[in-house]
Amino acid sequence: MGAQANNLTVRLWAASGLVGCVISGSLTAFVWMTRSIFICPPAWPGLFLAWAAIAAGYEPRGRLAGGAVITVGNAEVYTLLFFFVIRAEVVSRGRLGRYLLRWLA
């Protein structure tokens, strides 16, 4: 049972990472096209990471490096968020949890 539970956790992390990266990439594309990062609260976690990196001494070289830091920060936050939501759903054996257990198996 332990190996099966560990395997499920790895698959949940992989699915969460995929969803987090997709959300982060689409958010970054939206913000890049509209140039509205300050009025788009879903993009703020990555923006805070970029500010913390600058405060720590990292100097991004150009707009692409700053955008990459923002994208990575958003991907981390949305991966964690999606993992905790999906893990709770799987543990409670809800409708989505049963579907995911079938899909991830």
Which comes out higher in pLDDT, residue 26 or 2? 26
DSSP reduced 3-state for 33: helix
Burial profile 39-73: b = 16 or more Cβ within 10 angstroms, e = fewer = eeeebebbbebbeebeeeeeeeeeeeebbebbbbb
Cα torsion angle, 80, 82, 84, 86, sign: negative
Name the token pair of 88: 């709770």
The pTM for the full model equals: 0.75
Q: In 3D, which of 73, 96, 75 has the Cα closest to residue 86?
A: 96
Q: Where are the domains of the chain?
A: 2-104
Q: pLDDT class for 100, splitting at 50, 70, 90? A: low
In this prediction, residue 19 carries a pLDDT of: 87
Q: 29-87 pLDDT, tens per residue?
A: 888 888 877 777 777 888 888 888 878 887 777 777 777 888 888 898 899 988 888 88
Say if CB 89 and CB 100 are below 8 A apart: yes
Give the integer Cα–Cα distance in Å for 47 and 79: 16
